[in-house]
Amino acid sequence: MVVKRRYIRSAALPIVAISSLTILNGCKESDPAPKNLDDLLMGDWQVIELDGESQPGPDEYVMNFKFKANGDFSQCVEYLNNDAYYCMVGKWTWSDASKPELRLVRKDEPVITADVVDIDDSNMEWNTSYDLDGVTVTNNAKFVKID
State pLDDT tens for residues 82-132: 878 999 999 999 887 667 899 999 988 889 999 999 999 999 999 999 998
CA dist 125 and 67 (Å) reads: 15
Q: How many CB atoms lie within 10 A of CB 87?
A: 11
CA dist 66 and 7 (Å) reads: 66
Cβ-in-10-Å burial (0-12, 13-18, 19+) of 15 comes to exposed
State pLDDT tens for residues 35-59: 688 999 999 999 999 999 887 766 7
